[in-house]
Structure 1
C-alpha cells in the first residue's frame, strides 16, 4: 500500500496559522496556476451539447474519443465567428484556459473557431442516411396514413423516463379514451439497439390489438440520441407492419428514425397531442352540435311561446259562453265517439270470438280460448277505463271553465254596484267627453235598465239626468 503524506499547513495559503485553506482560496489558486502555466491554447475536438443563451453567449463541450472540456464563447466574440457552430462539428478553437469559480470547473474561453471537417459521429450519420435513402427506406410513397381515431397505441420507450410520463399526462388531460401499451426498452447505451428492435417486434406481434406504435424518448445530446440513428433500429421502424410515429428529443433534434417512420413528431408530447387531436376535434364537434341543438330548441320554444301568447289573446277576445258551448259540444262528440269506439270494439271482439268459435270446432280450443279470453277481458277493461278517464277529464275541464265564465260575466260586475251606459243604438259609452248635451242614453243596472238624458252643466260639461 502506498503511503499518503499530508502537506503541512501554511499560513499564507489559509487564514491564521494552523487553519486549512478555504474552497474559494483553493479555487482562486487553481485558476491563477492554470492561467499562468497554460494560458492560451489551440485545441482540436468535436462540438457537443451546444447551447445558445438569450444573452447571446454560446456554451458547448469540446470532446474527443476519451475526454471532453467545457467551452464558452461570449456574445461579442460569438457574433464575429465565421463558423456556424452546431453539434457534431469538428473544429479547432483558440482561447484561454480559465476557471468558472462558482462551480470550480475549468473551461476554454473561445476567441477563434476554425472548422476541421465534419465530426466523426456526424459523418457516420450522414453516410448511413445516404445509404438508407438510396435503398428507398425514406421514400414518401412508402409512408402509411395514421388511423383517424387510434384507440390502441404502443409506445417503445424507457418506462422510467420523463417522456412517457409527459405522454400519459397529455393523453389524460385531453381525455383520450384509448389504451396505451408501454413496451419497455433502453433508449441509450449499448443495449438500446437490441431492446428498441425487440420492442418494435413485440408491438408487431400484438396486431390487431394495436392501431399504431410510437418510438421515442426525451431530449439529449447527439450521443444520447444515437440509438435512434443505428441501422438496425432504423430498418426495424421502416419494416414495421404497424404505422410508426418517431418522437425523439426536442424540436431541433433530427434522427434517422424520423425519416423511416410514417410520421415524425417533434417531441413525445407532440405525438400525444397528434394521437388525441382527432378525439378532441370530435368532442368539440359534439359540443358544437349540442350547443346548436340547444339553440334550435330554445328558438322553437320561443316560437311556441309566441303562439301560445297569440292563442291566449284570441281566447280573451272570444265570448266565454261560446267557448263553453263549444266545449260542451265537443264533450258530447267525444262521448258519442267513445261510445261508438266501445260498440265497435265489442262488435269486433264478438266477431273475432265467433271466428274463434268456428275454429274451436275443429281443434282443441281450451288453451287458446283461455288465453284469448283473458286478453279480451283485459282489452275491454282497458277500453272502459280509458273511456271513463277521458269523460272525467272533459267533465273536469268543463267544471273548471264555469267559475271563469261566471267571473267574466258582465252581470256579476253590475251586481257589485257598477252600471253600463249605452246609446240607443246599443253602443257602449266609455268616455264622458263623447256625450252630447241632450243626448238620450240608457243605463243598465243589475236589476234592469233605465232611460236617461244628458244635460249641460255650466261648470262640469254635460251630465246625465
Structure 2
C-alpha cells in the first residue's frame, strides 16, 4: 500500500493551487447568480449555483457587463484557487450573460440606469453630415454586413472614403475591440465625418455586446457622430439608443448616409425642366404684355395727336375770330392818332388829324 502524503496547511494550499493552475488554468462555469454584492465600489462577490452545488466567485467591478441581480444566468470565465484564509473560490476573468431571459433582464436594468444619466436623451443627438466624405466603419471584415454596406454605398454614391476597423462583433473579445475602434477613430488626425458600427442579425447572445455598459458608453461618448445598425428588427440595442442615429440593417445604414445618384440626377433633370418651362412661360407672358403695351401705346399716341389737332384747330379758329383783319372785314374800322390807336372819343378834339384803317386800306381825316 502506497504511503499517503502528509501536508502542512500552507503546503497543501500551495500544491493544490499549482496542480489546479496546471490542469485548469481557466474554467468556464455557467449557473444561476446568487448572493451578489459589491464591496467599496471596487470588488464583487457572488455565487453561481445549480440544483446540487454552488461555487464562490471573486472579481472586480470592471468585470461586470452591467447591473446584475440574483437569479440571472451567467457564464463566467475564471481561474480556480484555494485562498489560505478564505477558502476555495474562482477569480473572475470575464462575465457573460447566459440565456435570453437573463440577457433581456440585464438590458432593461442597464437601460434604466443609463436613462437616469441622460445617455439616451434626444437633445444629445447630432445631425449626421449628408453625404459624408469620410466614413469610419467598425465591423467584421469577413461579414456579410461589411459587404452589403460597401456595395450599397458604391451603387448610390461616389467620391467618398471608407476606413475599416476590423473587429469581432460577438464573443468575449468583441466589447474591447469595438471600444478600441471607437477610440482609434476619435483620436485619428484626420477624423471621419461619421462612425458606423454594424453587423447582421443574430440571437440575443450574439448581439449581447451591443447591450454592454462599456460599449454603450463608448458610443455615447464619441466625439464623432455615430450610426449603429444591428440587423435585428425586434429589439433595439442600447448601443443603438445611445447613437446619434440607428438603422435597421447595414444596407439601410448606407441608404441613410448617402443619396441615390440616379434619383438625384432625375430630380435635377425635373427641376431643370420645370425651371425651363417656367422661364418660357414668363417670356411668353412678357411678350404678350409687350404686344398689348405696344398696341395701347399706339392707341394712346393717336389719341394724343387727335386731341392736339382738335386743340390746334380750336386755337386757330379763336385766333381767326380775334384777328383785327377779320374784324375789319365785318365793317369795323381802326382809328389812329399820331400812330396810336384811339380807344375813346376823348382822345381827340376838333381839328385833329387822324388815320382810319379799313379792311382794304387806310385814309386820313380831320376831326370836326
Q: TM-score, normalised by structure 2?
A: 0.47
Q: Which structure's relative contact order is higher, taking Cα pairs within 8 Å and 6+ residues apart?
A: 2
